[in-house]
Amino acid sequence: MSKISVGIVGVGVHVPEKVLTNFDLEQMVDTSDTWIRTRTGIAERRVAAEGIATSDLAVEAAKAALDDAGITADEVDLILVTTSTPDMIFPSTACLVQSKLGIAGCAAFDLQAACTGFVYGFTVAAQFIETGMYKTVLLIGADAFTKYVNWQDRNTCVLFGDGAGAVVLRRVDDGYGLLSSYLAADGSGADLLKIPAGGSALPGNEYSIENNLHYVQMVGGEVFKFAVRILPEAGTKALEKAGLTVTDVDYLVPHQANIRIINAAADRLGINKEKIIVNLEKYGNTSTASIPLALYDLYASGGLKRGDVLLFVGFGAGLTWGANVIRWSEGGGR
């Protein structure tokens, strides 16, 4: 019996209305538009308003993806949310999304692999359909990292933005959809990128608040070196598993962390710059939402055609990294 092919049949995104530009940041911290653009490629990012949680971003992206797929929420068998900024420790953000969609009964859970979350999530979600357990999976990558940055730390506060991207996964024609995945992690690098407090190791207390331990901490130089090395490695291994090479790739959709990382990794991978989808200039690093947000830009442009090969590549805290190879099964876009 041949394996069921699983692909994307609907795409949707949502970003907050508020735009925070580099010039705005110049008034908040010791930085400049030139400094930020030169080192990151970012010009602006979206910031969720007070009272808007990750689940709120996620549910709007989910509604858009369901509408694009032409299905209703009650047809969903599983809601899988990948996030590092859940509404709360428990219940899962996926359960909150389910409630806000007005449905109940389907399975719902979160997956945490930081900025690699969407790649991990796609791999996990597809397996539920491949095995025949479920027909329709709603996969959402959503993060609200601006709620976890120290606005006095110019090395991190300039990087992150908020947003959500969702896809509807279903069975597609044989030979299309997800062709292969490669996932990996190295926990020895956990201290390079983290939010120290808020978990069982260091619950919130006066000490953790006074020492800003509920904010993102990053050893930027080490993360940069890791990302430049690991992105091409992950992409190459996923392509090998699919029986393809980089010349077969029509579009590279990388995690949108830093333009210097993307360009350096692309050079090592040997892929033409015209094939790389980049939108971090307007959104910044939206963590697990960055790949679906970039995918949507390509999809909405109408540039995708049936049979195009897409390579999703991500890296993040953990340390985690991975890649998906997808043969696009639908035509065009909006």
Domains and CATH numbers, the chain: 6-174 (3.40.47.10), 178-327 (3.40.47.10)
Q: How confident is the model at residue 2 (pLDDT cuts 50, 70, 90)?
A: low
Half-sphere exposure of 41 (CA within 13 A, CB side): 15
pLDDT at 61 over 90: yes
How confident is the model over 172-203, as pLDDT tens digits? 999 999 999 999 999 999 999 999 999 999 99
Catalytic residue among 95, 115, 258, 324: 115
How confident is the model over 125-144, as pLDDT tens digits? 999 999 999 999 999 999 99
Q: How confident is the model at residue 168 (pLDDT cuts 50, 70, 90)?
A: very high
The yes-or-no answer on residue 115 being catalytic is yes
How confident is the model over 304-327, as pLDDT tens digits? 999 999 999 999 999 999 999 999
Tell me the percentage of the chain whose pLDDT exceeds 90.
Answer: 97
The yes-or-no answer on residue 285 being catalytic is yes
How confident is the model over 239-261, as pLDDT tens digits? 999 999 999 999 999 999 999 99
Residue 137's Cβ-count burial label (10 Å; 0-12, 13-18, 19+) is buried
- The answer to whether the CB of 204 falls within 8 A of the CB of 195 is no
Query: For position 77, what pLDDT does the model report?
Result: 98
What is the average pLDDT score of the chain? 96
> How far, in Å, are 57, 64, 206, 212 from residue 152 at the CA level?
25, 35, 19, 11
Query: For position 330, what pLDDT does the model report?
Result: 76
How confident is the model over 28-52, as pLDDT tens digits? 999 999 999 999 999 999 999 999 9
pTM: 0.97
Q: Indicate the pairing of strand 320-327 with strand 217-218.
A: unpaired
What is the residue whose two structure tokens read 């992690």?
Answer: 185
Catalytic residue among 22, 157, 255, 324: 255
The yes-or-no answer on residue 214 being catalytic is no
- The answer to whether the CB of 7 falls within 8 A of the CB of 329 is yes
Query: For position 331, what pLDDT does the model report?
Result: 53
Query: For position 332, what pLDDT does the model report?
Result: 46
Over residues 214-221, mean pLDDT: 96
How confident is the model over 65-113, as pLDDT tens digits? 999 999 999 999 999 999 999 999 999 999 999 999 999 999 999 999 9
pLDDT at 333 over 50: no
